[in-house]
Amino acid sequence: MSWTALGSAMTGCTACPELAAARTTVVVGEAPRGARLALVGEAPGAQEDLAGRPFVGKAGQLLDVLLAEAGLDRDAVAVVNVLKCRPPGNRAPKRPEIERCRPWLDRQLDLIAPELVVALGLTSVGWFLGRGVRLGASRGVVHEVGGRRVLATYHPSAAIRFGPRGAPMAALREDLAHAARLLGG
Ligand code: SF4
């Protein structure tokens, strides 16, 4: 199945009735041809839900800046989320929602076939490394998970929440630079 066909199938998904009823769009994500890096976030926020694109709000703007600082071009990077539909009120994704959406992300990653995945935030890190994982302890090394190479780091929203001098901002900056080095940048 092609990326476009997969995205079309996804937009008709109503597996999570609460999310399907509340969403404006299914935010499929973006996958430039030949992307070597895939960023995996948590779920669309209000602006993403309206725009139909991932990471377009404040967190996305910060991500763009940090990617550029690391020498990574957002237009060449795949960006997807664990959940494709916005949880109402920006609540955290529920476990059953994550499991219902898992096959979509699995198929996306199979199609993108990136050399490296960067998991942004605990929901995404847990998707790859399992429940109960601690973000601080899982950073800084490449995890081999089901044939995928995964780096764990903070979500840009956490970096914003803790401010420019907070630990999440420094960690996210460092981890994106690490990703760039791993890709030979
Ligand atoms: S979050 Fe995923 S599984 Fe749930 S309705 Fe949206 S696309 Fe379907």
What are the tens digits of pLDDT across the range 93-139?
999 999 999 999 999 999 999 999 999 999 999 999 998 899 999 99
Q: Contact at 8 Å (CB) between 18 and 26? A: no
Q: Provide the number of structural domains found in the chain.
A: 1
pLDDT score, position 185:
61
Question: Residue 50 is which amino acid?
Answer: L
Predicted confidence (pLDDT) at residue 90 exceeds the cutoff of 90 = no
Predicted confidence (pLDDT) at residue 11 exceeds the cutoff of 80 = yes
Q: Contact at 8 Å (CB) between 81 and 42? A: yes
Q: Which residue, by CA, sits nearest to atom 6 of ligand 1?
A: 85
The percentage of residues in the chain with a pLDDT greater than 70, rounded to a whole number, is 99
CATH of the domain at 58: 3.40.470.10
Phi-psi region of 67 (alpha: psi -120 to 50; beta: other; left: phi over 0): alpha
What residue has token string 């430039």? 32
Give 41's contacts (C-beta < 8 A, 6+ positions apart): 54, 55, 59, 79, 80, 81, 82, 120, 121, 124, 155
Phi first, then psi: give them for residue 150, nearest 5 degrees.
-130, 130
Q: How far is the CA of 9 from the centre of ligand 1 (A)?
A: 11
87-110 burial by CB neighbour count: b if 16+ within 10 A, else e?
Answer: beeeeebeeebbeebeebbeebbe
Q: Name every protein residue with a CB atom under 6 angstroms from any ligand 1 atom.
A: 10, 13-16, 19-20, 26, 83-85, 97, 100-101, 104
Mutate to test the pocket of ligand 1, among 18, 19, 23 (most ligand atoms within 8 A of CB): 19
Tens digit of pLDDT for each residue in 60-82?
999 999 999 999 999 999 999 99
Mutate to test the pocket of ligand 1, among 84, 94, 106, 127 (most ligand atoms within 8 A of CB): 84
Q: How far is the CA of 13 from the centre of ligand 1 (A)?
A: 6
Q: Which residue, by CA, sits nearest to atom 3 of ligand 1?
A: 101
Mutate to test the pocket of ligand 1, among 23, 99, 101 (most ligand atoms within 8 A of CB): 101
* Domain range for 45: 3-182
Q: Could you tell me which of 171, 52, 163 has the C-alpha nearest to residue 119?
A: 171
